[in-house]
Amino acid sequence: MNRIGSYTFSIEAGDVDIFGKYPLPVLVRKMLDCAGYHADERGWGLRHLNAGNCSWVLARAAIELENFPEIYDQIVIQTWVEDLNKHFSTRNFSFQNQKGEILGYARTVWSMIDLNTRKAVDLTVVSDISNHKVDKECPIDKPGKIGIVSCEPEYFHDVKYSDLDINGHVNTCKYVEHIINLFSSGIEQIVVLKRFDVTFLSESKLGDRLHFHRATASDHETQIEITGHNSRSICRAKITFKK
């Protein structure tokens, strides 16, 4: 089996945003679906792990696109494992359109937990992932460290049914959706979004109140932090816009 997974799909009219572009939260969802297909096909997907009471946990991600896919595009997402140690596995992605043009790349960092103890599991003992490592170019920076955003929250969201995944936690893509929605009052900025870095620090559940803090670092860089009860940090993101 090829070490690189390659998945093609079409972008439908119902998928795109007001600009006719594929929205970042939906692209992240699709990217994670492709990670799932790739891992499933090779025997270490969620359906195998859950049988052993383990699960993948996304720790950090960076996604950087020169151009977002558009309505009726056919896109190809490729994904592969770059590296692996006891604590983390790094999985990369490339995004390509029907003309074969590279739209961008993503880098993700995963750990694995035991669903009973909620503690990390040694990744090197899980099947043969390390035999699937690929030395393929991924010419974007690694997910950056993102500091605390100390200003007051500007928006609140109480976690609802549609935010939850099968583990009862807020879904990764929903964090991305709520973060991007902070730009709704200056919506034209979303069209020039170039790079999204995110770090997940703790979980949130049904009924939790999420506090959204935003700091504009420069014309083309904004940091966002989501905190919960007692200022517990849940998630931090950095958005870089085209200059």
Binding site for its own copies (CB under 8 A): 12-14, 16-20, 23, 25, 29, 32-33, 36, 46-47, 71-72, 158-162, 164-168, 171, 173, 177, 180-181, 183-185, 187, 190, 206-207
Q: How far apart are CA 94 and CA 73, in angstroms?
A: 16
Judged by beta carbon, residue 54 or residue 159, the one nearer its own copies is 159
Judged by beta carbon, residue 71 or residue 102, the one nearer its own copies is 71
Judged by beta carbon, residue 49 or residue 129, the one nearer its own copies is 49
Q: How far apart are CA 144 and CA 80, in angstroms?
A: 20
Judged by beta carbon, residue 19 or residue 88, the one nearer its own copies is 19
Q: How far apart are the first and last CA of the chain?
A: 41
Least separation in angstroms between CB 31 and its own copies: 10
- Bridge-based pairing of strands 193-200 and 233-241 is antiparallel
- Bridge-based pairing of strands 221-227 and 209-218 is antiparallel
Least separation in angstroms between CB 150 and its own copies: 25
Judged by beta carbon, residue 149 or residue 170, the one nearer its own copies is 170
How long, in residues, is the chain?
243
Query: Dihedral through CA 170, CA 238, CA 91, CA 165, nearest 10?
Result: 10
Q: What is the DSSP string of 24-76?
A: HHHHHHHHHHHHHHHHHHTT-SHHHHHHTTEEEEEEEEEEEESS--BTT-EEE
Least separation in angstroms between CB 160 and its own copies: 4
Neighbours of 185 (CB within 10 A): 7
Least separation in angstroms between CB 30 and its own copies: 9
Judged by beta carbon, residue 139 or residue 161, the one nearer its own copies is 161
Q: What is the DSSP string of 183-209?
A: TGGGGGGGGGEEEEEEEE-S--BTTPE
**Residue 124 DSSP one-character state:** G
Judged by beta carbon, residue 140 or residue 241, the one nearer its own copies is 241
Least separation in angstroms between CB 13 and its own copies: 5
Least separation in angstroms between CB 70 and its own copies: 10
Least separation in angstroms between CB 159 and its own copies: 8
